[in-house]
C-alpha cells in the first residue's frame, strides 16, 4: 500500500468503518479501484466525500453494480463508494402514495414492500438486481415509460452528497411539491458524475387488478409502423406498446393493458380489432419483457426518434443486423449488435436515420475495443451547458471523471 493510499485508508476508516483495498472484481469498466468504502448512512457518505476531497481522490459511486460498464470508463477510480449496505425502505406512506428509500435498495425489494399495500413504483427493473440509485443514475426505463413517463416523472424528493461532502436535499413528501425538482432531474442519467445520490422519494401508483398482453406478429417495418400508429391513435390508453424486432425474421408488436377487469377486457377487444385477427391475448408478460436485447460482450445502443420514424428505424436496424426491443409507443428502443467490427458503420447509419427523425443513437454498453473505435455519445447540442453544470457541482472533476458525455 502506497503512502498516499495508506493515509487515505486511515482517514476513510475514521469516516466509515467498512473500508478495504480494491480487488480486481471492483474494477469500473476495466479501471482498477484503489479503495472501497461501504457507508451505511448519508452522513457517512458525506464524511467519505470530505476525506476524498481533502486527499484530492477521484470517487465513483456504485449501487448494485449492474450497469458499471455503461458510458465510458472513468479516467480514474481512487475510491469506490459502494452503497449496497444502504438498502432500506425508509418510509412508505401508503395513504399518500409515496415511498422513500436509500439508494442501494434493490428495486425488487422496494416493489415487495409497497406491493403489500397494492401499490407499485412504475419503474421497470430492466436489469435484474438493479438498485434505486442505479436506476436514477442511468435513467433506466422500460415498457411502462409509456404509461407514466420515466423516473424524472416519479421522483419528488432526493438527497445527494456533493463532491465536497455537503449534503443537499430537494423536493418534499407532498406529491405536488416541486421545490428543488430541477436538482432531481440533473441527477437522473448523470452516471454519478455530479453527486452521490443517497436517498430518493417517489410517488406510487396502484397495482392494476388485472393485466393483459395483446401480441401480433409483424413481417415488415411498414406493417409494424401502421399497427403502432393504429394503437397510439386508437384511444385505448395502453400501459405499454413494445416492439421486439430480431436481426432477421418477423417481429412482434405487443400492447399491454392494466386496470379493472371490465375496462381491460373492453380495451383488449378494441386492440384486437386494431391489430387484426391474428392477435393473441395472454395474462403473462412475454419473454424478454422489460429487458434489453443485448447479451454480455455485445454492443447495446439506445435509439430515439419521433413516432413517425419507426418504419425507417426498423428498416435500418434490419439492414445493419441489429436486434431491437423497446417502446414503439414513445420512440425509445434499444438495439444489439453482436460483431464489434460492424459497429462503426452500423452506428453511422443508425445515427443518420435517428437524426432525420429528431432523435439520436447512443452507445449504452459495449466491449472496450468498440468504445475506443467510436464516439459513444455522438453529437450533444447542450454540451457546453452540461460542462458548466459539472463545473458547478464538481469543480475539481473528481466524481466519476470521464464517464459521461464530453469527458464530464
By DSSP bridging, strand 59-62 and strand 79-82 are parallel
Q: Mind listing the pLDDT tens digit for each residue in 185-221?
A: 999 999 999 999 999 999 999 999 999 999 999 999 9
SS (H, E, C) 166-179: CEEEEECCCCCCCC
Provide the percentage of residues in the chain whose pLDDT is more than 70. 97
| Nearby residues of 193 by Cβ (< 8 Å), 6 or more positions away | 390, 394, 399, 400, 401, 403, 404, 408
Distance CA 321, CA 317 (A): 6
By DSSP bridging, strand 299-304 and strand 89-93 are unpaired
Distance CA 47, CA 68 (A): 24
Distance CA 144, CA 240 (A): 5
Residue 35, φ and ψ in degrees, nearest 5: -130, 150
Mean predicted lDDT score pLDDT of the chain: 94
pLDDT of residue 5: 60
Q: Residue 179 pLDDT more than 80?
A: no
Going from the C-alpha of 156 to that of each of 140, 153, 389, the distances in angstroms are 17, 8, 21
Q: Residue 323 pLDDT more than 90?
A: yes
Q: Among 12-16, 93-97, 157-161, 263-267, where is mean pLDDT lowest?
A: 12-16
Cβ pair 210, 263 in contact under 8 A? no
Distance CA 148, CA 154 (A): 8
pLDDT grade for 171, boundaries at 50, 70 and 90:
confident
Domain residue ranges in the chain: 1-207+381-408, 208-376
Q: Residue 127 pLDDT more than 60?
A: yes
Q: Residue 401 pLDDT more than 90?
A: yes
| Nearby residues of 2 by Cβ (< 8 Å), 6 or more positions away | none
Cβ pair 176, 225 in contact under 8 A? no
| Nearby residues of 281 by Cβ (< 8 Å), 6 or more positions away | 212, 213, 214, 268, 272
pLDDT of residue 3: 47
Q: Mind listing the pLDDT tens digit for each residue in 338-397?
A: 999 999 999 999 999 999 999 999 999 999 999 999 999 999 989 999 999 999 999 999
The residues with which 60 forms a beta bridge, in sequence order, are 80
Q: Residue 175 pLDDT more than 70?
A: no
Cβ pair 349, 320 in contact under 8 A? yes
pLDDT of residue 378: 95
Cβ pair 57, 49 in contact under 8 A? no
Choose among 230, 243, 240: nearest CA to 315.
243
Cβ pair 178, 389 in contact under 8 A? no
Q: Residue 114 pLDDT more than 70?
A: yes
- Angle between helical axes of 221-232 and 310-320 (0-180°, round to 10): 150
Distance CA 151, CA 125 (A): 12
Overall average pLDDT of the 1-27 stretch: 82
Count CB atoms within 10 A of the CB of residue 256.
25
Q: Residue 74 pLDDT more than 70?
A: yes
| Nearby residues of 126 by Cβ (< 8 Å), 6 or more positions away | 140, 141, 142, 290, 291, 292
pTM of the model: 0.94
Overall average pLDDT of the 114-137 stretch: 97
Q: E strands within 97-219?
A: 98-102, 119-120, 155-161, 167-171, 196-203, 205-206, 210-218
Q: Residue 152 pLDDT more than 90?
A: yes
Q: Classify domain 1-207+381-408 at the CATH class level.
A: alpha beta
| Nearby residues of 55 by Cβ (< 8 Å), 6 or more positions away | 4, 7, 8, 11
Q: Residue 308 pLDDT more than 50?
A: yes
pLDDT of residue 126: 96
Choose among 298, 315, 383: nearest CA to 354.
315
- End-to-end Cα distance, the chain: 29
| Nearby residues of 10 by Cβ (< 8 Å), 6 or more positions away | none
The alpha carbon of residue 33 and the mean position of all alpha carbons in its chain are separated, in whole angstroms, by: 23
pLDDT grade for 176, boundaries at 50, 70 and 90:
very low
Domain 208-376 maps to which CATH number in 1.10.3720.10, 3.30.70.3450, 3.40.50.1980, 3.40.50.970?
A: 3.30.70.3450
Q: Mind listing the pLDDT tens digit for each residue in 274-294?
A: 999 899 999 999 999 999 999
pLDDT grade for 247, boundaries at 50, 70 and 90:
very high
Amino acid at each position: 500500500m502506497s503512502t498516499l493510499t495508506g493515509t487515505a485508508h486511515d482517514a476513510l476508516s475514521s469516516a466509515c468503518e467498512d473500508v478495504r483495498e480494491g480487488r480486481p472484481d471492483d474494477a469500473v469498466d476495466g479501471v482498477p479501484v484503489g479503495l472501497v468504502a461501504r457507508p451505511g448512512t448519508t452522513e457517512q457518505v458525506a464524511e467519505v466525500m470530505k476525506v476524498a476531497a481533502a486527499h484530492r481522490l477521484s470517487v465513483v459511486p456504485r449501487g448494485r453494480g449492474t450497469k458499471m460498464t455503461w458510458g465510458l470508463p472513468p479516467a480514474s477510480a481512487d475510491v469506490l463508494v459502494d452503497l449496497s449496505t444502504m438498502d432500506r425502505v425508509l418510509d412508505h406512506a401508503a395513504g399518500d402514495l409515496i415511498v422513500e428509500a436509500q439508494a442501494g435498495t434493490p428495486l425488487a425489494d422496494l416493489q415487495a414492500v409497497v406491493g403489500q399495500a397494492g401499490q407499485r413504483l412504475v419503474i421497470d427493473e430492466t436489469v435484474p438486481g438493479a438498485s434505486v440509485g442505479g436506476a436514477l443514475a442511468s435513467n433506466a426505463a422500460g415498457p411502462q415509460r409509456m404509461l407514466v413517463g420515466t423516473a424524472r416523472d416519479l421522483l419528488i424528493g432526493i438527497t445527494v452528497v456533493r463532491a465536497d461532502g455537503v449534503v443537499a436535499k430537494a423536493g418534499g413528501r407532498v406529491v405536488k411539491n416541486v421545490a428543488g425538482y430541477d436538482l432531481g432531474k440533473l441527477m437522473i442519467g448523470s452516471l454519478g458524475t455530479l453527486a452521490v445520490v443517497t436517498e430518493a422519494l417517489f410517488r406510487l401508483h396502484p397495482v392494476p387488478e388485472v393485466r393483459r398482453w395483446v401480441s401480433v406478429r409483424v413481417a415488415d417495418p411498414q406493417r409494424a409502423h401502421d399497427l403502432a400508429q393504429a394503437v397510439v391513435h386508437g384511444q385505448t390508453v395502453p400501459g405499454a406498446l413494445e416492439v421486439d424486432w430480431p436481426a432477421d425474421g418477423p417481429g412482434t408488436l405487443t400492447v399491454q393493458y392494466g386496470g379493472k377487469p371490465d375496462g381491460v377486457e373492453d380495451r383488449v377487444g378494441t386492440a384486437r380489432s386494431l391489430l387484426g385477427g391474428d392477435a393473441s391475448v395472454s395474462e403473462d408478460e412475454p419473454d424478454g419483457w422489460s429487458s434489453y436485447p443485448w447479451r454480455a460482450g455485445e454492443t447495446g445502443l439506445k435509439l430515439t426518434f419521433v413516432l413517425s420514424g419507426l418504419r425507417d428505424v426498423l428498416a435500418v436496424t434490419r439492414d445493419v443486423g441489429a436486434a431491437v426491443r423497446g417502446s414503439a409507443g414513445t420512440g425509445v428502443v434499444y438495439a444489439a449488435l453482436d460483431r464489434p467490427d460492424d459497429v462503426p458503420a452500423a452506428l453511422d447509419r443508425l445515427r443518420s436515420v435517428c437524426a432525420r427523425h429528431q432523435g439520436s443513437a447512443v452507445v449504452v454498453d459495449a466491449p472496450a475495443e468498440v468504445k475506443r473505435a467510436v464516439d459513444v455519445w455522438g453529437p450533444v447540442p447542450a454540451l457546453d451547458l452540461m460542462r458548466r453544470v459539472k463545473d458547478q457541482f464538481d469543480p475539481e472533476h473528481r466524481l466519476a471523471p470521464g464517464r459521461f458525455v464530453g469527458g464530464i
